[in-house]
Amino acid sequence: MAQLENKFKVSLLAASVVAVLSMAPTVSVAAEVAADEEAEVIQVRGIRGSMTKSVMDKRAADQVIDTITATDIGKLPDTTIADSLQRITGVSINRSGGEGSSISVRGTPQVMTTLNGEQMLSAGSITTIQPNFDDIPSTMVNGLDVIKSMQAKTMHGGMSGVVNLKTVRPIDMDEGLTFLAKAAVADGSMGDDTDTKLALFTSYNWNSDVAAYINVSRDETHLADYTVGSTGNDWGFNASEATGFVVDEVDANGNGTTDDIYYAFQGHAASNKFIERERNGINGSLQWNITDSLQLTGDVFYTDMEEYEYIAAFNASQDWSGVTGWFTPDADGYTAHDNIVLNSDTGEYETLDGAYNSFHAGTLQARRTMTHSETHYTEKEAVNTNLQLDYDDGDKIKASIRWVHGEAREDQSQSVIDSYFNSGEQGNRFYLGEGGVPISPSNPWGYQGQWAQLPDGTPVEDSHYMIPIHVRYGSKVHYSMPTMTVTEADGSITEEVLGSNVDRYSLTSTNLQGYYSDAELDAYRFDVSYAFDWDHLVSVDFGARYAERDVDTEGWYGVMPATNAYGDPFLARWKDSEIGAPFTGESYIAPISFNDEVLAGKIKAINDFEGTTGLGTLYFVNPKSMNNPTKFHEDVYGVPNYEMLTNANTYDLTEETTNYYLQGNLDGEVFDLAYTGNFGFRYVKTEFDINQYESTSDTTYEIDGQTYIVGGGPGSPNPIGPVVNTKRDYHDWLPSLNLSLEITDDMKLRGAFTKTVTTHDALNLAGGVTINRDKSCNVTAANGDTVFCATGASQTGNPYLDPWRSKNYDISWEWYFDDSGIFSVGAFYMDIESFISQETVYLPQPDSDGVVRGYDVNTGEFTGVTPTTTKSNGDGGTIKGMEVGYQQAFDFLPGIWSGFGVTANYTYSPSDSDSRDYDGDEMPIADNSEHTSNLAIWYEKDGLQARIAHNYRSKQFKWIVNKAPYSFARWQDSTHYVDASVSYDFNEIVTVMLQGTNLFEEEQEQYLQWKDLVDKRFINERKIQLGVQVRL
């Protein structure tokens, strides 16, 4: 197959380092040059020093900005970059395995990330705009800026702001050698493995003429990330008492009527999930003052991460059957709500007869009980280099020439296994013989169960078999597993708890998929500043920038070769004992017992399902046996695995941007009040060259000279076909204004206006089409194969989407009552031109045999077109709010109390969107919390530093779950996270540190519309870290 060439040049790091170092003069020469005067350099150490520096930076800034300064070299206040950023007003974070990963600013994820003021490539966000920092060790960063109002000269690209990562500038270090080493170990409250962290930093400053540093970081972390709740994402149904249960007209709750409806999840699950990450980072810099006016800087910033995500989940479901009412609720196991629907004719919401019930306790009549194993293996690697020449004549002219180069890649493979311990016949799943005739249940060793029952316990014979499992959602999810009676092959009777006997399990279904993503960036810029001896207009900045960013992504499905009864070779994505071969119908995979020698050493007993009770010990294909997902499949099935590209996630995109800016800088007095500011504009031209790929109607595919049948039940994709190329461009004029008025010597009033433009995620622009197909059309192809008809489609990318555009307004009052103290109140308003919306269009989409029929599942007719959802520019909206911040060191207090300090902030951010929920209420912007707050109390005195911090985030709207004719709002409940740290300096050299994160094991709960309709809970552990630092 054609596979994306890995363009990432491993040697680039070494080459860049050599290139940078070769620019320096020899040490002996540099040492002979004495500086005429020594610049004032503030070396920040400790909590108080960090707070003071952050206040100084904010006060001196010519725009709305918040900063975080490291408490020592490479030592942010929190364990991750995102966790530190959440302490800033208006910033909220998402978590991965309990660690902060991606961020939003003022409710929007469209935030640009820069490195020392210029664009960077991060392997965690190759195809997205939202920053993701989980692959960057926090020790590589020495400070963080969150820029909320743009200057014309500021690097644009974020709708709500820019996050700037700052590294050490070696020329600012103390003269001579600086060396720092940190080592730490950490244990979690739920896992057994120990984390290790190591960081080494060394720099040398030769008389402030030449300076260099190198920083090396390595982390190995193990993160508990248990998940309990529903299976899948938004897998659910409306279960009507009239038609949705095992027979029609079932009074499921015994209230005397049969007009109620329930929200029925497709399944309920409990996951044992752990994430293992190995992060490596190397960054360094060399600065050379060639003359008094000329400085050369070279930077390298390299990150590498390997991640394994291991999932072992129990799953009880209704197996995608037509019986959506597959439970009997307890008397207190549901909550009745008004049955509200939208009348499409009148546009009004109406209340119908009966109730809509949210289910939270009762007996499941499961048609599939299984254990589910997944392993996700991800590699991320990125390198960013910067070469910069700065000129300052010491008088009027400053200039800079800069070249930034970046490369990044992210590769992932994912193996998924379903292992039944029911027989499979409950869902009509059988191992098939010649002509598709059933031979045995798909798991011949599994439990059969009993006939489906009415709510009063009466069996409905000749319906279907099921296995009764009681579930109750409370502070934990409580399961009650039934005792099963099994007739053995010799006629003996065995009684055992469901799932407790490994002999009942089989490896039933597997699949493999992944992607390769690569990106490359080159940016060239030229900046000039010219100073005037004028009042008010004191200088002018102007410059130009050109950048090109290339993104290439290949999504693939793993397929195995097989032959049907005629000897015809075909490719199968689904390695499943119940699926028949094309043309002939017999199963091409035999059932595999957990006792089969091919699985020897690959089975694991697990009884650790945090957040649940009652599941006991269950058996799984050990996710760690799939560390190499492709090799696992080849070993188990004894044939090679091939990677077939999928058009939906295969694309390449080139983005070229050309920027010019002009900015005037102001400094003067108005009515005897000092003021500073800037005004200007930035012109941005954006050009896209996008290649998308269509899915062909070909039913064969050639590999190494062999032609295989593809498509149909075995699930191999149709080959990707013609390239659809789109070229488009647009341009924007982006005015900006920032003003700061000195009301008194310690009070400032700021105001800002900025217009921003932000591109979309690459997938939203360039992704292909995914087609949903179903065999309910009852069509047989000319070759006798069952046809899966196209019933719906989703177009992932739309290259004609207009970018995010916004007009942002800020006003704030700031009181700097001492060197490290500030009280501020600010308000912001964002007028967003357009949000992405979904629309449905009708397009010809091919069926599994390549023929376009356009089957309508509602009417049974063939219309020639298929409803296809696509992204479009919808209505705009507004985000507004206020931010309050307070910081103070209590050094004016006597004795021990003088060591205390406090930092607190609060953000109020209401928002509106055009999404409406079940009741017809307008929903806020997705992922935006109306209320967020931070409170940190700290102490620093006599070498002792301590800090305890609390972060609160109110509930956040995620998205609308549509189950026609109902629309349910998916919410994530409010969260409280508490972290603490303490350190002690034994002397100027040695420091010991103890740090705890998520001390109270906060979990994240998501629910649909009503709090008792729990969809998922994400449960993370407390981490305690002990470390030591040595500084020379």
Report the alpha-carbon angle 145-149-151, nearest 5: 95
Q: What number is the average pLDDT over the span 704-728? A: 89
Specify the range with the lowest mean pLDDT, choosing from 12-21, 28-37, 377-386, 844-853. Answer: 28-37
Residue type, 723: V
Question: What pLDDT is attached to residue 44?
Answer: 61
pLDDT at 1002 exceeding the cut of 70 = yes
pLDDT at 321 exceeding the cut of 70 = yes
pLDDT band at 806 (very low <50, low <70, confident <90, very high): very high
Question: What pLDDT is attached to residue 939?
Answer: 96
Cβ atoms of 650 and 720 within 8 Å: the answer is: yes
Q: What number is the average pLDDT over the span 802-817? A: 95
Question: What pLDDT is attached to residue 120?
Answer: 92
Question: What pLDDT is attached to residue 74?
Answer: 67
Helix %, strand %, coil % of the chain (to 5): 10, 60, 35
Q: What number is the average pLDDT over the span 856-867? A: 85
Number of H helices, E strands in the chain: 6, 58
pLDDT at 286 exceeding the cut of 60 = yes
Report the alpha-carbon angle 855-859-865, nearest 5: 30
Specify the range with the lowest mean pLDDT, choosing from 21-35, 872-886, 935-949. Answer: 21-35
Beta bridge partners of 430: 441
pLDDT digits 0-9 by tens, 378-420: 999 999 999 999 999 999 999 999 999 999 999 999 999 999 9
Between 659 and 767, whose confidence is greater? 659
Q: DSSP string covering 699-738, please?
A: -EEEETTEEEE-SSTTBPPPPEEEEEEEEEEEEEEEEEEE
Question: What pLDDT is attached to residue 783?
Answer: 73
Question: What pLDDT is attached to residue 3?
Answer: 42
Q: Among 14, 218, 61, 53, which residue's Cα sits nearest to residue 142?
A: 53
Residue 229's region, left for phi above 0, alpha for psi from -120 to 50, else beta, is: left
All residues at 6 or more sequence positions from 215 whose CB lies less than 8 Å from its CB, including other chains: 74, 139, 140, 167, 168, 199, 200, 201, 281, 282, 283, 284
pLDDT at 14 exceeding the cut of 70 = no
Q: What number is the average pLDDT over the span 265-278? A: 96
Residue 490: count of CB within 10 angstroms of its CB = 5
Q: How far apart are CA 951 and CA 973, in angstroms?
A: 14
pLDDT band at 20 (very low <50, low <70, confident <90, very high): very low
Q: Which helix (H) or strand (E) holds 306?
A: strand 294-317
First to last CA, the chain: 55
Cis peptide before 965 (omega within 30 of 0): yes
Specify the range with the lowest mean pLDDT, choosing from 133-147, 498-512, 621-635, 811-825. Answer: 133-147
Question: What pLDDT is attached to residue 553?
Answer: 95
3-state secondary structure of 860: coil
Q: Which helix (H) or strand (E) holds 765?
A: helix 762-766
Cα diameter, the chain: 103
Question: What pLDDT is attached to residue 502?
Answer: 97
pLDDT digits 0-9 by tens, 454-474: 999 999 998 999 999 999 999
Token pair listed for 359: 């289910």
What is the pLDDT of the chain when averaged over all its residues? 90
Residue type, 979: D
Cβ atoms of 836 and 804 within 8 Å: the answer is: no
Pairing relation of β-strands 990-997 and 836-843? unpaired
pLDDT digits 0-9 by tens, 474-501: 999 999 999 999 988 888 899 999 999 9
pLDDT at 88 exceeding the cut of 90 = no
- Write out the E strands in 343-454: 349-359, 361-366, 368-392, 397-420, 430-432, 438-441, 450-451
Between 794 and 921, whose confidence is greater? 921
